[in-house]
Structure 1
Amino acid sequence: MSDSNTGPLKGLRILDLTRILAGPTATQLLGDLGAEVIKIERPGAGDDTRSWGPPYHKDADGQDTSESAYYLSVNRNKHSVAIDIEKSEGQALVKQLLASCDVLVENFKVGGLAKYGLSYEQLKEGFPRLVYCSITGFGQTGPYAPRAGYDYLVQGMGGVMSVTGEADGQPLKVGIAIADIMTGMHASVAILAALRHRDATGQGQQVDLGLLDSTVSWLANQGMNYLVSGKAPGRLGNAHPNIVPYQVFETADGHIILAVGNDSQFAKFCGFAGLGDLVSDPRFATNRARVAARNDLVPMLAGVIAAKPTAHWTAGLEAVGVPCSPINTIDQVFADPHVQAREMVVEMEHPLTGLPVKMIGNPQKYSATPVSYRKAPPTCGEDTVDVLSNLLGLPTDEIERLRDSGVIG
């Protein structure tokens, strides 16, 4: 792990007024790529997720600290500055910081920052080069714009839950807050596109991201299946709507995922499984036929697969070029030698305890400008004095006055 900033976004400065998950996901990604991220937090409280535990980071005695794993997951490579933006002097400090920033990212409800003088409309004339990214549940326009947005609700409203779960069971959410995370990913891409436009023209702009829009966008083939056919897809459990066999099967000692993507792979699978007769059967010879005959084919395969252990199928099918995998628990994921070789777990020294904290690594690999892990997720207000003195040039007595008056923490 390198302490130096070698990322491609070195020199970019972001003012981060986000909390929870979608916004922090975007700003952590940009921070990993070298951007300097200044996270503004409420004095004494900070990001809501700091208390979203257990589990929490532990001290040398094995006791819980105040820093939750949830907060740690999306807040590295950031400087925490505790400013009360409800106070006029706090608002003034934010504007002073903006003078040296390229980007502001916020996830307040629509219009929520206007009462603090920090909306895009209030800032755009004074900061014409500013890229102002707003992340909300439903975007800045439309009938739902005033509503608060929550990942779980949006997974339901956006159709994801209607295609997730067993056919005869309840609709299910994805096991992680995927709507938040994907919106954060979209936000990071949108910010970079807006910066490219700014650098070419000198013109900043507002970037408008909504959780629902993002979720609808990644309905992907399922959404297109409806748009083309006019028929809303339903839940198929672990099966695929357009490919067969492409699902979970029970083995003698567990489960596998069999992902036969084409007719050649089906022939190879059948050869390995001792089912060569199926290849010439017109009911199963092509994927189109197999989809139509799903209810006949799958039980036949299930009986054969259940007779052998997982290792028999994963090793044997890999050898003949048929996609197949075990279903790992999360502890097995992080023990996987490939995941370890790809450095998907990194350690950073936590500022509160001085002890290492394991974090999920950034998946982006660069040959010339690798990501850097420069700063562990900060405690609330950890960098207030440093940023205000070094970036704004405020003297010590002024910083103390602001702290005494509750403007900063």
Structure 2
Amino acid sequence: MPGALDGLRVIEVAQNIAGPLCAMNLADHGADVIKVEPLTGEGARSVPPIVEGESAAFMIWNRNKRSIALDLKKPSDFDTLMKLAADADIFLQSFRPGVAARLGMSWEQLNGRFPRLIYGSISGYGQTGPDAARGGFDLMAQGMSGLMNITGPRDGQPHRLPIPICDIAAGLNLTIGLLAAVEARHRTGRGQHVETSLLEAGISLQLYEAAHYFTTGTNPPRLGQAHRGVAPYQVFPCSDGYVTVGAGLQHFFEAFCRFAELPQLIEDPRFIELHDRVAHNDELVRLLSAATVQHPVHYWVNGLDQIGVPCAPVLNHDQLFNHPQVVHRGMVETVSHPKLGPTKTLGVSVKLSDTPGSIRMPAPMLDQHAGEIRQTLERTRSS
């Protein structure tokens, strides 16, 4: 079945996570993504874990793509890239600002040759501004965006989130921008430059923190497990693991207290209203935790779920990828790799009813599709 983006061609000259993740999102929904790599391969091919010489991480966010290896400083290879761009809808690059221009493939240079081409750029800090030329990874973006400063124990040092959240969010933001530009081109007939950065991705995630700073003028503090405006809303210990409970609304809070056999907390002056509970969250959590730790996870999940209180277990990855809901939603799929055979990968997380996304092929081997790509260019030139 054709995907929603069937017929859309994307040239990806990107590395690491953000740009390639954006291209993967487009590929999952039917776009023909041609990944242009250096002759030695994109850098993420060396990211562990390595299985029989192949990066398992690279395979996760580079599926559904075709690969061609080019030396972009070599005139004939650069000419191949320009031929690919001439027949493409989107050109996506993640060089540090200024590098694409030196290579002859900046937005201005390509827009002059291919006015319908949509050009996507992703960088550490953006294409303009005093820090534009600086290189940046997810770690730097987490720090500079303020995310790190609000993460970690209340009295501890700033913590890095254990996932590359700025990389991932930037890739998602660029996906949205590129699709918006495709829609705009239907009306204008012209491509445009779509650009975002890891820094802006980190900033855009901080809704509560921005509201706090803009209204109070003070820096939002680190809160550990606590929520900035809702209580109780965090992780609670059980006799055999942990459970998350979101009982900020009054009726949820009262139901939680009754199920925990702590009805006296409902009338406690410290916890009567939501703002009271937020102000006294530490005491509230201490009292509730003394109750939750007495029973196993399934006791709380089953019991709270029956009375409508939002809750869920804290799963490890073995539990996660074997959980009936996760399996039912297709979030674990198997794809046949040309070297490794059947391998598991993450499923497509956005479900479309009429034109669903799909995993049609594994991440490519380096230069795997060079022959067919060049043949297509030859046919296009001769037609």
**How does 1:45-56 map onto structure 2 within 5 Å?**
45-53=40-48, 55-56=49-50
Map Cα deviations across residues 242-296 of structure 1 (whole Å, 9 max, x no partner): 1111111222222221211301100110111111122123321211111122233
Paired with 1:258 and 1:394, the residues of 2 have a C-alpha distance of: 58
1:138–1:212 Cα contact (<8 Å) kept: yes
Which residue of 235, 241, 255 corresponds with 1:268? 255
1:51–1:68 Cα contact (<8 Å) kept: yes
- Structure 1 window deviating more from structure 2 (304-313 vs 29-38): it is 304-313
Q: Which has the higher contact order (CA 8 A, sep 6+)?
A: 1
Paired with 1:116 and 1:165, the residues of 2 have a C-alpha distance of: 42
1:150 is aligned to 2:137: yes
2:83–2:377 Cα contact (<8 Å) kept: no
1:73 is aligned to 2:60: yes
The runs of 5 or more residues in structure 1 that have no matched partner are: 58-63, 396-409
AA paired with 1:356? P
Map Cα deviations across residues 20-46 of structure 1 (whole Å, 9 max, x no partner): 100010000000010000100111x11
1:366 is aligned to 2:352: yes
Paired with 1:295 and 1:364, the residues of 2 have a C-alpha distance of: 37
Tell me how large the CA RMSD over aligned residues is: 1.4
Q: CA deviation at 1:139?
A: 0.5
Which residue of 157, 163, 180 corresponds with 2:150? 163
AA paired with 1:383? H
CA spacing shift, 1:37–1:211, aligned 2, 3 Å: same
Paired with 1:373 and 1:310, the residues of 2 have a C-alpha distance of: 35
**How does 1:264-343 map onto structure 2 within 5 Å?**
264-343=251-330
Paired with 1:150 and 1:239, the residues of 2 have a C-alpha distance of: 28
Q: Which residue of 2 aligns with 1:8?
A: 4
Paired with 2:207 and 2:375, the residues of 1 have a C-alpha distance of: 48
Paired with 2:192 and 2:62, the residues of 1 have a C-alpha distance of: 25
CA spacing shift, 1:7–1:394, aligned 2, 3 Å: closer
1:136 is aligned to 2:123: yes
Any idea what SS the aligned residue of 2:34 has? Answer: strand
AA paired with 1:360? L
1:235 is aligned to 2:230: no
Percent of aligned pairs sharing the same letter:
39
- Structure 1 window deviating more from structure 2 (207-216 vs 168-177): it is 168-177
Q: Which residue of 1 aligns with 2:94?
A: 107
2:247–2:309 Cα contact (<8 Å) kept: yes
Q: CA deviation at 1:391?
A: 3.1
Q: CA deviation at 1:316?
A: 0.8
Q: Which residue of 2 aligns with 1:93?
A: 80
Paired with 1:198 and 1:366, the residues of 2 have a C-alpha distance of: 23
Paired with 2:357 and 2:377, the residues of 1 have a C-alpha distance of: 24
1:209 is aligned to 2:205: no
Any idea what SS the aligned residue of 1:359 has? Answer: strand
1:96–1:392 Cα contact (<8 Å) kept: no
AA paired with 1:16? E
CA spacing shift, 1:52–1:295, aligned 2, 3 Å: closer
Q: CA deviation at 1:203?
A: 1.3
Paired with 1:166 and 1:13, the residues of 2 have a C-alpha distance of: 46
Paired with 1:293 and 1:96, the residues of 2 have a C-alpha distance of: 64
- Structure 1 window deviating more from structure 2 (209-218 vs 291-300): it is 291-300
AA paired with 1:332? Q
Map Cα deviations across residues 272-325 of structure 1 (whole Å, 9 max, x no partner): 111112212332121111112223322221212222222211111111111122
Q: Which residue of 1 aligns with 2:367?
A: 381
Number of corresponding residues:
381
CA spacing shift, 1:391–1:372, aligned 2, 3 Å: farther
1:33 is aligned to 2:20: no
Q: Which residue of 2 aligns with 1:255?
A: 242
Map Cα deviations across residues 142-166 of structure 1 (whole Å, 9 max, x no partner): 1100001100111011111111111
Paired with 2:239 and 2:79, the residues of 1 have a C-alpha distance of: 66
1:388–1:394 Cα contact (<8 Å) kept: no
Q: Which residue of 2 aligns with 1:403?
A: none
Q: CA deviation at 1:327?
A: 1.0
Report the TM-score when normalising by structure 2.
0.97
2:91–2:117 Cα contact (<8 Å) kept: yes
Q: CA deviation at 1:89?
A: 1.3
Paired with 1:114 and 1:393, the residues of 2 have a C-alpha distance of: 29
Map Cα deviations across residues 104-143 of structure 1 (whole Å, 9 max, x no partner): 0000010101122111111111100110001000111111
Q: CA deviation at 1:394?
A: 8.9
- Structure 1 window deviating more from structure 2 (132-141 vs 320-329): it is 320-329
